[in-house]
């Protein structure tokens, strides 16, 4: 049987790496789009090349979401059955520093792919996945957020993803494109970017344990996040594109924890006994064994405006996609710690 072809924008990212492996195991041919960087940044996917069973169906090509001609060229060249748009300037705090660039990649980049699909009008009907985010709910007051919850984004990143969401809906309705929005809550893994809070906490605490770092500096300890495992979430992306009709789905665990709770769980598993002292910016975690300060807060890690509370209701995905998360927050932390211990940074 002819292999299905997938084209992944953002293949070098966390989700791109998990999705590539997932699709290759499902017997797809995978074309991954990487952008030019001054040093090689394919660490997350290098092991696919070393895997004799996977490497022949995995091809990397250059492209960039800010370059329409590269997008059209890639689609024409690869003739995909499915396109996954995972490429983004995905860091919320950084989006306040590079707002225009974040909008260019995240909003216009999505439009550029959709417009290329529309204009190329290939014989094959291409299915399109857009990587939406719980950050679109932003400052909502809803206790659980689902597909019907109103968006109230609280960062250039969140706003840029709302454009991407609505342009995906618009092209679906206007041009009958099979386009789906996944509205994914935070998902993490051992290969999560090092400046996102979960990886930063685990990496920092292990470095302190090994004597390679003195303290860990964090921002807001009291925002709440619904954290899942990236491995589970890429399966949901694929499932959305296997349905008869295109639609939008929330993907989350339905559980939420503060950053402080995450840090407490991680610290305990790594072997620290900690106590918290002080308030506000002066709040600190102290190692009970030696009274040394392990965690401190720093103003530079706070955002101009915070998304305080996120908790997903993925009932629609459960019912239609038959999807539910397989990993708990404790599995996730255990796996991240194990990886960090084996690959100390
Ligand atoms: P990530 O690790 O930051 O990966 C982002 C990917 O986009 C990287 O491959 C990056 O390439 C690529 N990229 C950035 N700018 C680009 C450009 N101009 N042209 C082409 N590629 C570009 O993000 P992730 O965690 O895997 O997330 C995947 C997608 O899901 C993103 O769109 C993100 O916004 C969204 N999302 C993530 C979460 C989450 O919790 N992880 C939740 C909801 C939605 P480089 O490697 O060269 O930087
Ligand atoms: O922050 C707080 C911070 O940067 C989580 C992206 O994948 O998920 C991610 O966005 C929380 C925030 O993720 C630090 O203020 C405290 O409240 O790990 P994060 P995020 O902003 O939720 C969504 C769903 C996406 O779509 C995004 O692409 O943790 N926090 N101290 C900190 N955050 C960071 N990064 N660093 C700190 O030191």
Q: Quick one: average pLDDT of 259-272?
A: 98
Q: Left if phi > 0, otherwise alpha if psi is -120 to 50, otherwise beta: which for 73?
A: alpha
Q: Closest-lying ligand to the alpha carbon of 102?
A: 1
Query: Mean pLDDT score of the chain, rounded to an integer?
Result: 97
Q: Give the DSSP H or E segment for 274.
A: strand 274-277
Q: Look at residue 239 in the predicted model and tell me its pLDDT.
A: 98
How far apart CA 153 and CA 138 sit, in angstroms, is: 4
Q: Which ligand is nearest to the CA of 257?
A: 2
CA 191, 168, 326 angle in degrees (round to 5)? 35
* 313-317 contact pairs (CB < 8 A, 24+): 313/144, 313/145, 313/146, 313/250, 313/252, 313/254, 314/146, 314/249, 314/250, 314/251, 314/252, 314/253, 314/254, 315/146, 316/146, 316/147, 316/249, 316/250, 317/236, 317/239, 317/249, 317/250, 317/251
Residue nearest to atom 41 of ligand 1 (CA): 187
Q: What is the mean pLDDT of residues 74-96?
A: 98
Q: Does 112 contact ligand 1 (Cβ within 6 A)? A: no
Q: Note the pLDDT tens digit of each residue in 315-329.
A: 999 999 999 999 999
pLDDT of 7 above 90 = yes
Checking if the pLDDT of 248 tops 90, the result is: yes
Nearest CA among 28, 139, 38 for reference residue 84: 28
Percentage of the chain beyond pLDDT 70 is 100
Residue 296, SS3? strand
Does the pTM surpass 0.85? The reply is yes
Residue 205: HSE in the Cβ half-sphere, 13 Å Cα cutoff: 27
CATH for 5-190+228-254+310-327, options being 3.40.50.720, 3.40.50.300, 1.20.120.1200, 2.40.170.20: 3.40.50.720
- What is the SS3 assignment for 172? helix
Say how far apart CA 88 and CA 110 lie, in whole Å. 9
How far is residue 29 CA from its own chain's centroid? 23
Q: What is the mean pLDDT of residues 52-79?
A: 96
Question: Phi and psi (nearest 5°) for 257?
Answer: -140, 150
- 103, 163 Cβ separation under 8 angstroms: yes
The per-residue pLDDT for range 148-198, each reduced to its tens digit, is 999 999 999 999 999 999 999 999 999 999 999 999 999 999 999 999 999
Please compute the mean of the pLDDT values over residues 312-316 and round it to a whole number.
98
Output the CA 218–ligand 1 centroid distance in Å: 22
131 lines ligand 1 (CB under 6 A): yes
Element (H, E) at 268: helix 259-270
Q: Is 266 in the pocket of ligand 2 (CB under 6 A)?
A: no
DSSP string, 76-118: HHH--SEEEE--S---HHHHHHSHHHHHIIIIIHHHHHHHHHH
Catalytic site positions:
133, 135, 157
Q: What is the pLDDT of residues 188-247, one digit of tens each?
A: 999 999 999 999 999 999 999 999 999 999 999 999 999 999 999 999 999 999 999 999
Domain definitions of the chain by residue range: 5-190+228-254+310-327
Report which protein residue has its CA nearest ligand 2's atom 19: 196
């Amino acid at each position: 049987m002819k292999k299905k072809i997938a084209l992944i924008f953002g293949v070098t990212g966390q989700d791109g790496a998990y999705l590539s492996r997932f699709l290759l195991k499902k017997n797809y041919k995978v074309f991954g789009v990487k952008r030019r960087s001054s040093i090689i940044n394919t660490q997350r996917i290098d092991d696919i090349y070393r895997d004799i069973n996977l490497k022949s169906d995995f091809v990397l090509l250059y492209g960039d979401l800010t370059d329409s001609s590269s997008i059209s060229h890639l689609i024409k060249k690869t003739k995909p059955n499915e396109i996954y748009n995972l490429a983004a300037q995905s860091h919320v705090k950084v989006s306040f520093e590079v707002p225009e660039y974040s909008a260019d990649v995240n909003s216009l980049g999505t439009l550029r792919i959709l417009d290329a699909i529309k204009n190329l009008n290939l014989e094959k009907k291409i299915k399109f996945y857009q990587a939406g985010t719980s950050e679109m709910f932003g400052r909502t007051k809803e206790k659980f957020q689902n597909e019907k919850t109103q968006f109230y984004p609280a960062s250039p990143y969140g706003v840029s993803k709302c454009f991407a969401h609505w342009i995906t809906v618009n092209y679906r309705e206007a041009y009958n494109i099979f386009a789906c929005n996944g509205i994914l809550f935070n998902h993490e893994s051992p290969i999560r970017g090092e400046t996102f809070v979960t990886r930063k906490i685990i990496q920092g605490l292990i470095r302190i344990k090994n004597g390679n770092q003195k303290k860990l500096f964090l921002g807001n300890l009291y925002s709440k996040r619904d954290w899942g495992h990236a491995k589970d979430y890429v399966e949901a992306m694929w499932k959305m594109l296997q349905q008869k009709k295109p639609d939008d789905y929330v993907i989350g665990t339905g559980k939420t924890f503060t950053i402080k709770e995450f840090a407490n769980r991680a610290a305990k598993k790594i072997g620290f006994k900690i106590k918290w002292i002080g308030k506000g910016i002066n709040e600190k975690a102290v190692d009970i064994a030696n009274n040394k300060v392990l965690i401190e807060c720093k103003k530079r890690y706070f955002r101009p405006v915070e998304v305080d509370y996120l908790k997903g209701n993925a009932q629609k995905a459960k019912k239609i996609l038959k999807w539910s998360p397989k990993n708990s927050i404790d599995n996730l932390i255990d796996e991240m710690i194990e990886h960090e211990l084996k690959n100390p940074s």
